[in-house]
Amino acid sequence: MKSENKKNPPVGGQALSEFLKEKRQGKNLSLDKLSDLTKIQVYHLEALEAGQFEKLPPLVYRAGIFKRLAKFLDVDKNEIIRMYKQEVQAVEISSYNGNIIKPKQNSYFVLTQRKLAIFLGILFLILLSAYLFYQFKFLVGPPNLAVDPKEDMVTQQESLMVRGKTDSGVDLTVNGENVYVASDGGFSREVQLTSGINVIEVEAVNNFGKSAKIVRQIFRE
């Protein structure tokens, strides 16, 4: 069974779909020929003559379509636009199975003092949670420690500069000797090397007794 085409209802006169079809046929133009002249896809011309405006391109392009149609159908562009607007407005409120369907209202976000207070409260809780997590990790975990050289190595030098990064406020030793730690956690210490294998042990201990240790074996040729 052929399905019935649902068209937008005409308002106060002829429907735009019928109007355009009548003008096209009055000029003995097929949809394909009109498409060639106007450079409008046949699919969109069929949608217009079927009153299926939802199949048309976005609104910003429809004025251009109406302008080209008006030129080749010898009609007033403003008349096409007027009929189009009337039909679009007519379907803003339509009846379906006896129920009135009203157009969907656009919703806009309005920033109120209450919403701002809620947002700031949530942001504060997030920052507080992050801070407490960091402090908890600091209390229960060992201090951060990074040492350069990053791995065992072979050298011919008589000494080696050991550098690194740790947490500020920790006690740091290199081979058991205390080393100054800057406020940003940086430290350095020159270690004298003997021939053969040299073991360099770097240890950081925080105020809670948690320690981190890195050992490097340096072979001097």
Last residue of a domain, one of 68, 101, 134: 101
Last residue of a domain, one of 101, 134, 155: 101
Per-residue pLDDT in tens (0 to 9) along the chain, 221 residues: 444 344 444 444 578 888 888 999 988 989 898 889 888 998 888 988 888 888 888 877 888 888 889 888 989 888 888 888 888 776 654 444 444 444 444 445 667 888 888 999 999 999 998 888 777 766 667 889 999 999 999 999 999 999 999 988 899 999 999 999 999 999 999 999 999 999 999 999 988 888 899 999 999 98
Nearest Cα to Cα of residue 78 among 68, 86, 67, 89:
67
What CATH number is given to the structural domain containing 194?
2.60.40.10
Give the predicted TM-score (pTM) of the model.
Answer: 0.40
- How many domains is the chain built from? 2
Residues spanned by the domain of 182: 145-220
